[in-house]
């Protein structure tokens, strides 16, 4: 079981030291963690051929966590403008959405986080303008993000349905979940951490997640750096609210994206995948993440697929 001792809040000085350690480790890496060899190795995770989505349905109704939901409008449908039923017609629609909201599944590009005047790798913040991002945009991964995925289920570890808002996941929790699930996170993996956000929302209703949500403690990113993971995904925002760091509202975003150069996936849903993993007795799988080709965009709606 995980330790009962939860990590303390970080002071600005402690966060700065953590940032520097993680950025230094990232700089020491060998570049692209998702090499063709690792992708090929990840295909060996496919044994039964079952496919499972990790995306939540796009929300179109407003709620306390989604005051500006996606807008879905039909632009053409049978009977519109008095059209007859004979001949050929097409049903057509359009969507508009806030990619980085607090309800819909999405992936953050490396240009999403601006910290101390720069993007990841020291790229000037001025490369992001009213017209979009001219560096580190989501189209950089237009060939997809493919690799071995691992799901660590923290509520399962603690024997609860979900973590309550404000609680956070420590590095010790991640290690304990590995042992409990008999799986190990390795270099180049796509790591997914379940806190039960979606199940809580489904059973108790939406709430103001900007004020209170479960997520990772910033110090948990040491675990990710040690294992050299390539991607981090969560069923919440990945960051805890209120923040665990004085003076930084989204410390996990700053550390993962800005310091370490990880693609971050927010507001996924793992209830289907957790059930299948339990049934199959394993918590690793081939994972395919395919962002939309959105030139100069800071992120994209996403539907990650686990293949077991």
Residue 27 pLDDT grade (very low, low, confident, very high; cuts 50, 70, 90): confident
Look at residues 187, 184, 256 and name the one whose alpha carbon lies nearest to residue 221. 256
Strands 168-169 and 215-216 come out as: parallel
Question: Which contiguous run of DSSP H or E holds residue 301?
Answer: strand 299-301
Instruction: Tell me the whole-structure pTM to 2 decimals.
Output: 0.95
Do the beta carbons of residue 229 and residue 189 sit within 8 Å?
yes
Q: What is the pLDDT of residues 68-124, one digit of tens each?
A: 999 999 998 887 766 666 788 889 999 999 999 999 999 999 999 999 999 999 999
Structure token pair of residue 280: 């199959």
Nearest-angstrom CA–CA distance, 42 and 187: 12
Q: Nearest-CA neighbor of 265 among 109, 136, 147?
A: 109
Where residue 2 falls among pLDDT bands split at 50, 70, 90? Answer: very low
Three-state SS at 178: helix
What contacts 27, CB < 8 A, 6 or more positions away? none
Residue 7: its pLDDT value, please?
A: 78
Q: Compute the distance between CA of residue 194 and CA of residue 151 in angstroms, rounded to an integer.
A: 7
pLDDT of residue 87: 80
* Peptide linkage before 242 cis (omega within 30 of 0): yes
The string of pLDDT tens digits covering residues 178-236 is 999 999 999 999 999 999 999 999 999 999 999 999 999 999 999 999 999 999 999 99
CB 244 within 8 A of CB 168: yes
What is the pLDDT, as a whole number, of residue 300?
A: 97
Give me the percent of the chain exceeding a pLDDT of 90: 89
CA distance 144 to 133: 19
Reported confidence tier of residue 8, pLDDT bands at 50, 70, 90: confident
């Amino acid at each position: 079981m995980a330790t009962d001792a939860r990590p303390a809040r970080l002071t600005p000085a402690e966060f700065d030291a953590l940032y520097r350690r993680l950025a230094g480790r990232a700089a020491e890496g060998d570049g692209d963690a998702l090499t063709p060899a690792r992708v090929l190795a990840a295909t060996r995770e496919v044994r039964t051929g079952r496919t499972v989505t990790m995306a939540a349905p796009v929300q179109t109704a407003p709620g306390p966590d989604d005051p500006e939901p996606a807008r879905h409008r039909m632009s053409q449908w049978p009977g519109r403008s008095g059209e007859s039923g004979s001949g050929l017609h097409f049903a057509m629609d359009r969507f508009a959405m806030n990619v980085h909201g607090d309800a819909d599944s999405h992936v953050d590009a490396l240009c999403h986080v601006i910290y101390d005047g720069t993007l990841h790798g020291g790229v000037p913040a001025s490369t992001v303008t009213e017209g979009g991002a001219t560096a580190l945009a989501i189209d950089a991964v237009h060939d997809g993000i493919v690799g071995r995925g691992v799901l660590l289920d923290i509520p399962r570890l603690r024997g609860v349905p979900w973590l309550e808002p404000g609680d956070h996941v420590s590095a010790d929790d991640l290690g304990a979940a590995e042992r409990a699930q008999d799986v190990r996170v390795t270099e180049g993996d796509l790591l997914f951490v379940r806190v039960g956000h979606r199940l809580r929302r489904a059973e108790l209703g939406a709430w103001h997640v900007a004020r209170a949500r479960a997520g990772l403690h910033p110090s948990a990113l040491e675990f990710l750096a040690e294992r050299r993971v390539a991607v981090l995904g969560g069923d919440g925002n990945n960051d805890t609210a209120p923040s665990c760091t004085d003076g930084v509202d989204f410390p996990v975003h700053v550390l993962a994206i800005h310091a370490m150069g990880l693609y971050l996936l927010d507001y996924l849903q793992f209830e289907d995948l957790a059930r299948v993993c339990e049934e199959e007795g394993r918590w690793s799988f081939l994972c395919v993440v395919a962002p939309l080709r959105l030139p100069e965009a800071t992120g994209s709606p996403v539907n990650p697929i686990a293949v077991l």
